[in-house]
Amino acid sequence: MGKQSTQFSALNCIDLSNSDINQSVHLLKQACLDSGFFYVVNHGISQEFMDEVFAQSKKFFSLPHQEKMKILRNEKHRGYTPVLDELLDPENQVRGDYKEGYYIGVEKAEDDPESKKPFYGQNKWPAPDVLPGWRETMEKFHRDTLEVGKSVAKIIALALDLDEKFFDQPKMFGEPIATLRLLHYGGQISEPSKGLYGAGAHTDYGLITLLATDDVAGLQICKNRDAKPQIWEDVAPLKGAFIVNLGDMLERWSNCIFKSTLHRVLGNGQERYSIAYFLEPSHDCLVECLPTCKSDSNPPKFPPILCQDYLTQRYEDTHADLKIYKKQQA
């Protein structure tokens, strides 16, 4: 059996050009209390440039496998991730995800002391003669999407009764961990009953994720992960929009007031391309219960933790050991 019948989820839509900030805060808060997913439109990135980024992504994934393996991801999660590299739901998946990806993070030169931090460093890039202009396109998209993420974070801050500049502090987005990930699903048909998925069920690790997709459906969300059986809803692609979802770090920060929602990707036999942008605060940011999210009757549920320690552990839990690729190439 292939894809199970599901219904489409009705998600709120946040218009970043809307001058009525109170309306945006209301819609976002409603979404964060319900599903943790919402659309963002009129975000300032042109459709023409979005189309160009997707075209360049397809060019990379169309390269021969050996060419892509030349820029295999490193210990800092920069570069190419092959099909089956990531295992997001080990309890239900018999193999890794049927997707390939490409990580691009915050660029820091090798001689920059900042490059010693776990999620900073040099990116790995396809050779310019192989994909001319590719790096420049991706670097611009990385910068532009960071600004969209910051705009969304201001509305999140207001929805949590914080100052709108809460996430703009130096320890927050002054030096953010911001990771762009190109994704390609190759057209396999997912079979949940056999443990085969485009991307296994998971929640995102960090603060917020902004997802741009093509017009092929596949993303599903489960609002109540504890339900038996779990009920999955499709998220419809919306041209030009970002689909935004909250990560576990924000759920932890908000003392579980805002939800990080389980989601997965089911392949339906069509190729699918998407681009995820994971936005987190700085390495040294201490993630501890927000003052507006605790009280005598609702004390903090989690101990404080440094952002870098939290993210490092989550990445290690879900990615294959790089040693396996060294063995394959030996």
- pLDDT of 317 > 90? The answer is no
How far is C-alpha 33 from the chain's CA centre?
19
Return the pLDDT at 248: 93
Assigned token pair, 267: 């392949």
* pLDDT tens column, 246-288: 999 999 999 999 989 999 999 999 999 999 999 999 999 999 9
Give the single-character DSSP code of 126: -
Q: What's the pLDDT score for residue 132? A: 96
Q: What is the mean pLDDT of residues 189-216?
A: 93
Contact between residue 243 and residue 252 where contact means Cβ atoms under 8 Å apart: no
Residue 268 DSSP symbol: B
Closest CA to 185 of 249, 99, 116: 99
- For the stretch 6-64, pLDDT in tens is 688 889 999 999 999 999 999 999 999 888 999 999 999 999 999 999 999 999 999 99
pLDDT given at position 85: 81
327 by DSSP, 3-state: which? helix
Could you please report the per-residue DSSP string of 87-111?
-S-TTT-SS--SEEEEEE-EE--TT
Distances (CA, A) of 203 to 106, 271, 305: 23, 23, 19
Is 176's pLDDT higher than 60?
A: yes
What dihedral angle (degrees, nearest 10) is formed by the CA atoms of 51, 54, 58, 61? 170
5: pLDDT strictly greater than 70? no
Predicted confidence (pLDDT) at residue 174 exceeds the cutoff of 50:
yes
For residue 322, count other CB atoms closer than 10 A to its CB.
12
For the chain, where are the alpha helices, taking DSSP H only? 21-34, 47-61, 65-69, 134-159, 248-253, 307-318, 323-329
Domains of the chain: 13-327 (2.60.120.330)
Residue 330 has pLDDT above 50, yes or no: no
Report the distance separating Cα 312 and Cα 174, nearest Å: 20
pLDDT at 4: 46
Query: Which is more confidently placed, 145 or 76?
Result: 145
**What global pTM score does this model have?**
0.93
